[in-house]
Each structure stands twice: as C-alpha cells, then as structure tokens.
C-alpha cells in the first residue's frame, strides 16, 4: 500500500524563482533565504519519494475570475510551467501521476469533499518555486508530482478546519492505493504577507512563529482559527497558510494512530520580497 512518509511546508514567492533562474542566489539579499534550504535539498536527495502530492494555490494563472474551483486535483500525465508575464520559468515540466491522482479523487470525493478534476493545467510559481527551493535546478524533477490547487485568492476561501479534514481524507485515500509508493505531501504558500492596500508590506513574525509552533504541536486546535484572523494578523495573502493544514491533516498522528512527527527542519527568514519565508519538514514515525 502507498504511505505518506513526510510533509514539507514552505512559502512561495515569485522573486525567489527569479533569483534562482537569474543566478542571484549568492547575492547578500538572497543568500540567507537559500541557506535555509541547503539542509532541505540534502534531505530531499536522501529521502526522495515516489510521488509528491503538492498542495498550492494558483494565482489567477490557470484559473481566473471566470472559473474558481475551491479544490482542484491535477490528474494529467504532465503539467507545463506557466507563463506569468515574463515567459515560462526555465524549469522542468511536471510529470503527474494519473493513476494515484484518479484514485485519490475517487476516494476523497466519495468521502464527501467535492474536488474539481483537472486534466489540463499550467502550473505557476505557487508550485514551481517550492520545487525549486527543495530540489535546486535539476534537469528533471526527482519524481512525479500531483498538483492540488486550493482557492485562497478569491473569496470565499475554504476554512482551515475544512482543509485539515480534507488532509485526513487524502491520507486515507493514499493509504488505500494498492502500490508500495512513498508519498510526500507538501503544504505551500504563506507566511505573513500583504501585497496591496494601505497595509502592503505587513509582516508579523510573532504570528508566524506561533503558527509554526501550533502546526507542529496541536494542528487540530490551529485548524479552528477563523479565516479573518489570518487576514488581520498575517495580511490578506497570509490566508495562503490554510493550505499547510491540508498537509498537516494528512500526517499519521492526527488520525489517532501514529506517533507525533519528527521535526526534521525548521527555518524562518524575513524578508523575501514582501513575504516572510517559513519552512518545516515533518517526518512520520
């Protein structure tokens, strides 16, 4: 049977992708950001999974105000890096896992979560920047990736509670897939940032670090945080953090069966463009 071995959490920022693609990672501004992912890249090499289930948000790239799925699962065989205005990032195409993705869709939808099935989709910085941070600049990504897009851009957005419960349903779905696959689940986006309006540039280090603490220690309680608290405390784009609860909900301990996860790595840095960068690696025991 397939199993979830670990979860990875990381912010995404378009400028991080640009810094990598333009060879600026050693510049003084960026060096401390990328230093925080050196350990992560080694960990990825040592713990390469068979599949990554990557929870992220599309930024009006594949979807627009014309169509806004709350939860969308990518079932295609491959996904191209999106053109977000400066041409597609020079990164490998994403190879999907249609069999596992279809199985998860079947299981999760029958578990009462209404997913949108996506068979053609370009993937934006929300997905490619986390892959770059964790994997560097390989000729091909190390394994197939199932993109799972969450609407955190246009209100109404899903609650943290629903995201957390969805993670539990995804865990059950993966555990019932009849192949011995090691699967990582990634929750991406966040941490505190606001890109527009009078509060543009908002960063809240206290909130971010309390979120990291509680995500590790008591995610069920954290899942009850109302969406308005994210917006007030972490800025309008801080709501991206609810996606981390999907990945955390898929870990063994929240289903009552497993032991607490091991914190393999934790990193926090300000600034990266307008965003506080947070990062965690949790391993199932």
178: exposed, middle or buried (Cβ count in 10 Å: 0-12, 13-18, 19+): exposed
Q: Side by side, which strands form the sheet with 71-74?
A: 116-118, 71-74, 145-150, 51-56, 182-188, 3-10, 275-283, 262-272
Distance between CA atoms of residues 62 and 82, nearest Å: 8
Binders in 116-175 for ligand DHB, by CB under 6 A: none
Residue 236 sits in the site that holds ligand DHB (CB under 6 A)? no
Which among 45, 53, 36 is positioned nearest to 191, based on CA atoms? 36
CA 88 to chain centre: 20
Site for ligand DHB contains 13 (CB under 6 A): yes
* Residue 248 binds ligand DHB, judged by CB under 6 A: no
Residue with tokens 């990945």: 247
Query: 248: exposed, middle or buried (C-beta count within 10 Å: 0-12, 13-18, 19+)?
Result: buried
Q: Looking at the annotation, which residues are catalytic?
A: 125, 193
237 sits near ligand DHB (criterion: CB under 6 A) = yes
Is 216 a binder of ligand DHB (CB under 6 A)?
Answer: no
Q: Determine, following the binding rule CB under 6 A, whether residue 274 of this chain makes contact with ligand DHB.
A: yes
Residue 14 touches ligand DHB, criterion: CB under 6 A: yes
| Residue 18 binds ligand DHB (CB under 6 A) | no
With contacts defined by CB under 6 A, name the span among 11-19, 133-141, 164-172, 196-204 that binds ligand DHB. 11-19
Does residue 204 belong to the site contacting ligand DHB (CB under 6 A)? no
Stretch that binds ligand DHB, among 9-17, 23-31, 106-114, 253-261 (CB under 6 A): 9-17
Minimum gap (Å) between residue 281 Cβ and ligand DHB:
20
Residues 84-113 within binding reach of ligand DHB (CB under 6 A): none
DSSP state of 154: S
Q: How far is 165 from 233, CA to CA, in rounded Å? A: 23
Q: Which residues bind ligand DHB (CB under 6 A)?
A: 12-15, 59, 193, 195, 237, 273-275
């Amino acid at each position: 049977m397939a199993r979830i071995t670990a979860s990875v959490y990381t912010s995404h920022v378009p400028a991080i992708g640009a810094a990598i693609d333009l060879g600026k990672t050693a510049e003084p501004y960026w060096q401390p950001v990328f230093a925080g992912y050196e350990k992560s890249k080694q960990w990825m090499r040592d713990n390469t999974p068979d599949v990554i289930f990557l929870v992220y948000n599309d930024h009006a790239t594949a979807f627009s105000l014309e169509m806004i799925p709350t939860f969308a699962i990518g079932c295609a065989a491959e996904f191209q890096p999106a053109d977000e205005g400066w041409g597609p990032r020079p990164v490998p195409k994403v190879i999907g896992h249609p069999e596992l993705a279809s199985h998860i869709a079947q299981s999760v939808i029958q578990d009462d979560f209404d997913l949108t099935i996506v068979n053609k989709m370009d993937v934006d910085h929300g997905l490619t920047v986390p892959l770059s941070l964790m994997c560097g600049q390989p000729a091909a990504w190390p394994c197939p990736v199932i993109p799972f897009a969450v609407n955190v851009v246009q209100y109404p957005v899903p609650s943290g509670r629903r995201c957390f419960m969805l993670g539990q349903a995804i865990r059950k779905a993966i555990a019932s897939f009849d192949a011995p696959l090691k699967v990582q689940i990634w929750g991406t986006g966040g941490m505190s940032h606001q890109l527009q309006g009078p509060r543009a540039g908002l960063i809240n280090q206290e909130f971010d670090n309390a979120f990291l603490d509680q995500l590790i220690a008591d995610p069920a309680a954290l899942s009850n945080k109302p969406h308005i608290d994210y917006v007030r405390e972490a800025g309008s784009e801080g709501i991206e953090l609810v996606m981390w609860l999907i990945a955390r909900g898929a870990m063994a301990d929240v289903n009552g069966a497993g032991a607490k996860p091991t914190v393999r790595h934790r990193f926090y840095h300000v600034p990266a463009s307008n965003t506080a960068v947070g990062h965690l690696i949790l391993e199932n025991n």
